């Protein structure tokens, strides 16, 4: 499980070292993640996983979801920020505010009521206005590091999680954006480039599948550091299958054609969420899970990620025995190519260029090679997209899929 959680350690080191105050988490962001916090043994969404691990007394955690409220993890923190923001807008620390309310009650009370009303109104309107929400959170960071009477407005540091950053800051030429989109890009640009924010202690963590999906004026900022959330590796899948089996309904035990380790091997390329769907379907049907079902699920998932026009997934059913003729070539493949393809990753043959006339059987022969090695075949058909910026996203998705597939033969 350690390898799959490296992204959390990497993000923590960057924030603790002050390398950057603006992060973007990309990659496998829609998956589920294992936690043991508070004695729990469960799988959570990414935001729940992050807030559970970063729930520290020195931090005020704020979560913003598109079309949702600005949410504080702890209710008492919401009141702290509200109080600090009001004092900051009035330019008075708590002592000065208390004294002024006693000496000039009507004037101060009027100002206090106006500022309080403005804050509460902004928090309510932020639910359906993402532009206002971003500006309000930017002002919270300004408030947090402001000095009033020799002390900062907030003792704790702010850590803001922003979901759906690609929806808030869409990747498109600035001239084609509407006024609200442009304003959000401008707000984030000013926010992340502000030296006070860069040198401060508050942080913003945005979440999007790909950095390429963000508006390029934000994505190209050197202040924004990317941390990739990897696809589940073999050990992570083994742990999840074991966890699912332990927590299974006694009346509907999971039935496999082989061992849990074999299932974990064959599900390379699946997210844990997709793996859970597969296991739940088998459990409900009370049938034994077959290898063919697993391959079909992996194929469907990869195609859903990349698109059917981009990649074709195959599990060859023929071997070199079914290849007629080509005796010298088959001897060469068995003695030279197959052993080197089957070596450990550091020593394996990384690729081969195959020449020959059209229709000579090149694809059929090397599908047989993949079958001899018990490898799946990915046929790359068209990775260029007609849509602006989509090609980079496809490349990133393809790389994640290939990194997750431990043994795969790629045809281009």
**Domain range summary for the chain, segments of one domain joined by +:** 3-229, 232-306, 308-412
pLDDT of residue 300: 81
Query: What are 63's two structure tokens?
Result: 């979560």
List all residues 6 or more positions away from 340 whose beta carbon is below 8 Å from its beta carbon: 347, 348, 349
Angle at 253 between CA 250 and CA 257, to 5 degrees: 165
Predicted local distance difference test score (pLDDT) of residue 15? 93
Q: Are 306 and 400 in contact (CB under 8 A)?
A: no
Question: CATH second-level architecture of 308-412?
Answer: 3-Layer(aba) Sandwich (3.40)
Q: What pLDDT score was predicted for residue 41?
A: 82
pLDDT for residue 386: 56
Query: Contact, 232 vs 404, CB < 8 A?
Result: yes
Smallest Cα–Cα separation from 337: which of 365, 310, 298, 357? Answer: 365
141 and 158 Cβ atoms separated by less than 8 Å: yes
CATH class of 232-306: mainly alpha
Backbone angles phi, psi at 200, to 5 degrees: -85, -165
Q: What is the mean pLDDT of each run of 10 residues along the chain (412 residues)?
A: 75 92 92 82 91 92 91 92 86 60 65 84 92 94 83 89 92 88 94 93 93 91 93 89 79 75 83 87 77 80 74 79 84 83 72 80 84 79 62 74 71 71
DSSP string, 114-178: HHHHHHHHHHHHTTS-HHHHHHHHHHHHHHHH-EETTEES-SSEEEEEES-HHHHSB-S-GGGS-
Give the whole-angstrom CA distance, residue 69 versus residue 62.
Answer: 10
This prediction has a pTM of 0.82
């Amino acid at each position: 499980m350690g390898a799959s959680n490296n992204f959390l350690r990497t993000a923590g080191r960057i924030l603790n070292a002050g390398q950057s105050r603006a992060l973007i988490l990309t990659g496998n962001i829609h998956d589920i993640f294992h936690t043991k916090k508070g004695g729990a043994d469960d799988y959570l969404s990414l935001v729940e996983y992050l807030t559970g691990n970063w729930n520290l007394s020195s931090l005020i955690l704020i979560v913003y979801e598109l079309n949702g409220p600005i949410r504080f993890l702890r209710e008492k923190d919401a009141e702290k920020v509200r109080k600090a923001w009001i004092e900051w807008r009035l330019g008075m620390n708590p002592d000065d505010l208390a004294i002024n309310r006693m000496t000039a009650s009507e004037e101060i009370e009027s100002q206090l009521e106006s500022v309080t009303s403005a804050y509460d109104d902004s928090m309510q309107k932020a639910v359906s206005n993402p532009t206002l929400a971003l500006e309000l959170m930017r002002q919270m960071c300004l408030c947090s590091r402001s000095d009033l009477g020799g002390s900062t407005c907030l003792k704790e540091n702010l850590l803001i999680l922003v979901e759906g950053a690609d929806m808030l800051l869409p990747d498109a030429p600035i001239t084609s954006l509407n006024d609200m989109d442009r304003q959000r890009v401008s707000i984030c640009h000013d926010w992340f480039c502000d030296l006070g924010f860069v040198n401060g202690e508050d942080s913003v963590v945005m979440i999007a599948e790909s950095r390429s999906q963000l508006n390029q004026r934000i994505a190209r900022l050197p202040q924004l550091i990317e941390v990739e959330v990897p696809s589940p590796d073999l050990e992570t899948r083994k742990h999840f299958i074991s966890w699912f089996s332990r927590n299974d309904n006694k009346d509907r035990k999971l039935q496999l054609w082989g061992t849990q380790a074999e299932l974990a091997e064959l599900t390379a390329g699946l997210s844990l969420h997709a793996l859970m769907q597969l296991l739940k379907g088998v459990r409900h049907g009370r049938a034994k899970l077959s290898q063919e079902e697993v391959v079909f699920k992996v194929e469907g998932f990869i195609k859903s990620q990349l698109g059917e026009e981009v990649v074709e997934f195959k599990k060859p059913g023929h071997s070199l025995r079914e290849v007629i003729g080509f005796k010298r070539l088959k001897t060469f493949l068995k003695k030279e190519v197959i052993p080197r393809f089957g070596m450990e990753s550091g020593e394996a043959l990384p690729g081969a260029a195959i020449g020959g006339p059209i229709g000579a059987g090149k694809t059929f022969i090397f599908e047989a090679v993949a079958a001899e090695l018990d490898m799946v075949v990915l046929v790359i058909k068209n990775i260029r997209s007609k849509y602006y910026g989509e090609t980079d996203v496809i490349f990133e998705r393809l790389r994640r899929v290939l990194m997750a597939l431990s043994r795969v033969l790629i045809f281009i």
